[in-house]
């Protein structure tokens, strides 16, 4: 396979991580038919790119049966940057290991096997997406006779217990560790007058204690809700006896969390999206920023390489100092 072009994304080498497909997984688009030039998928197959001569559609797959199509828009960065949007788990706080552990315990409970352990190959599929997507993956692979509803019950049981233990000072040691250089980076953004939006696919009940814990460790001098200009989570879970919010079918890699925090939370018009930069360490997050139309910066340490989504990044940096240099131009 030779170097190939995907309109509004760029030119790519054969080893870029994208996978050529004979057909979109919904069966509607095939190369050579109805103007379709190529169909490719990210390495984790969460997003499929249907390329025409002058435009591209992104098809976001769904383990729960509700996929969606989005237009792919060309990105550019215009300075001065007005806003930086940041992921929570992995990017701002090193907590992926903790939440993967919760998924692992949930699967162990479904199997009735306390000794169960996830495999390294599972990591791209149990981080960065919604809780239900993670659980659906584990059910398909390890316990197909179980349901997502059964898994969610175990998941929230484990989550509530472990979060209460952490808040009481007895929880898993090192569960939520601020990412190296995050304090200096956040203060540098504030000094430049750049708005900061925090974006997570995590549910509020698990995300907010994590944020509070990190800010306490960082000694930021103020509460997280006073520091960030806007924060958004996947809301509250739908379960018996409680009112839930939208969040399990529409999180990363869908664009809505990043789009909403920028347009509604920070008040940045769609026409000024070229003054917004998003930072992610996960493949799902990278896709989410890119489909929202913002300059997409991957940061090392997550599953971007493993999920085959580095091709969706406008830039890939090793640390926050490199990102700050990119912002300054």
Classify the phi-psi angles of 169: left when phi > 0, otherwise alpha if psi is within -120 to 50, otherwise beta.
left
Per-residue pLDDT of the chain (329 residues; tens, 9 = 90+): 688 999 999 999 999 999 999 999 999 999 999 999 999 999 999 999 999 999 999 999 998 899 999 999 999 999 999 999 999 998 999 888 899 999 999 999 999 999 999 999 998 889 877 889 999 999 999 999 999 999 999 999 999 898 888 777 777 777 888 999 999 999 999 999 999 999 999 888 888 888 888 888 888 888 899 999 999 999 998 888 889 999 889 999 999 999 999 999 999 999 999 999 999 999 999 999 999 999 999 999 999 998 999 999 999 999 999 999 999 99
What confidence score (pLDDT) does residue 1 get? 61
Distance in angstroms (rounded) separating the CA atoms of residues 327 and 192: 10
Peptide bond into 80 cis (omega under 30): yes
Calpha distance 88→54 (Å, rounded): 35
State the helix-helix crossing angle for 148-167 and 131-142, rounded to 10 degrees: 120
Cα separation of 58 and 292, whole Å?
11
Residue 150: exposure state from Cβ atoms within 10 A (0-12, 13-18, ≥19): middle
Q: What is the DSSP string of 301-313?
A: TSSTTTTT-GGG-
Cα–Cα nearest to 266, from 225, 228, 292: 228
Phi, psi (rounded to 5 degrees) for 20 = -70, 140
Q: What is the pLDDT of residue 174?
A: 73
Q: Measured between alpha carbons, how far is residue 21 from residues 18, 66, 78, 307 in Å?
A: 10, 21, 34, 16
Q: What are phi and psi of 263, to 5 degrees?
A: -75, -45
Q: Please tell me the distance from the alpha carbon of residue 195 to that of residue 276, in angstroms, as a whole number.
A: 9
Q: Is 138 in a helix, a strand, or coil?
A: helix
Please enumerate in sequence order all residues whose Cβ is within 8 A of that of 240, keeping only pairs 6 or more positions apart, or say none. none
Question: Do β-strands 276-280 and 177-178 pair in parallel, antiparallel, or remain unpaired?
Answer: unpaired
pLDDT at position 127, please?
83
Can you tell me the distance from the alpha carbon of 146 to that of 324, in angstroms, rounded to the nearest whole number?
A: 46
Q: Cis link prior to 253 (omega < 30° from 0)?
A: yes
């Amino acid at each position: 396979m030779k170097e190939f072009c995907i309109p509004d994304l760029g030119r790519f080498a054969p080893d870029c991580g994208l996978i050529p497909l004979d057909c979109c997984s919904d069966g509607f688009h095939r190369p050579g038919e109805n103007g379709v030039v190529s169909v490719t998928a990210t390495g984790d197959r969460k997003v499929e790119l249907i390329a025409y001569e002058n435009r591209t559609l992104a098809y976001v797959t769904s383990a729960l049966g509700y996929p969606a199509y989005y237009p792919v828009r060309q990105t550019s960065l215009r300075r001065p940057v007005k806003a930086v949007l940041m992921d929570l788990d992995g990017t701002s706080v090193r907590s992926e290991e903790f939440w993967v552990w919760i998924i692992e315990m949930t699967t162990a409970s479904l199997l009735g096997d306390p000794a169960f352990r996830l495999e390294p190959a599972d990591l791209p599929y149990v981080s960065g997406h919604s809780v239900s997507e993670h659980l659906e993956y584990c059910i398909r692979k390890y316990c197909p006779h179980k349901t997502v509803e059964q898994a969610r019950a175990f998941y929230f049981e484990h989550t509530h217990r472990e979060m209460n233990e952490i808040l009481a000072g007895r929880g898993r040691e090192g569960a939520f560790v601020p990412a190296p250089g995050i304090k200096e980076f956040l203060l540098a953004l504030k000094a430049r007058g750049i708005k900061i939006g925090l974006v997570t696919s995590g549910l509020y009940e698990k995300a907010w204690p994590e944020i509070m814990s990190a800010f306490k460790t960082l000694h930021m001098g103020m509460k997280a809700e006073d520091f960030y200009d806007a924060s958004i989570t996947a809301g509250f879970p739908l379960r018996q006896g409680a009112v839930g919010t939208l969040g399990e079918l529409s999180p990363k890699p869908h664009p809505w969390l990043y789009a909403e925090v920028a347009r509604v939370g920070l008040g940045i018009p769609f026409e000024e999206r070229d003054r917004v930069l998003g930072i992610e360490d996960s493949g799902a997050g990278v896709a989410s920023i890119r489909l929202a139309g913002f300059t997409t910066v991957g940061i090392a340490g997550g599953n971007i390489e493993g999920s085959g989504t580095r091709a969706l990044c406008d830039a890939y940096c090793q640390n926050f100092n490199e990102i700050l240099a990119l912002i300054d131009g």
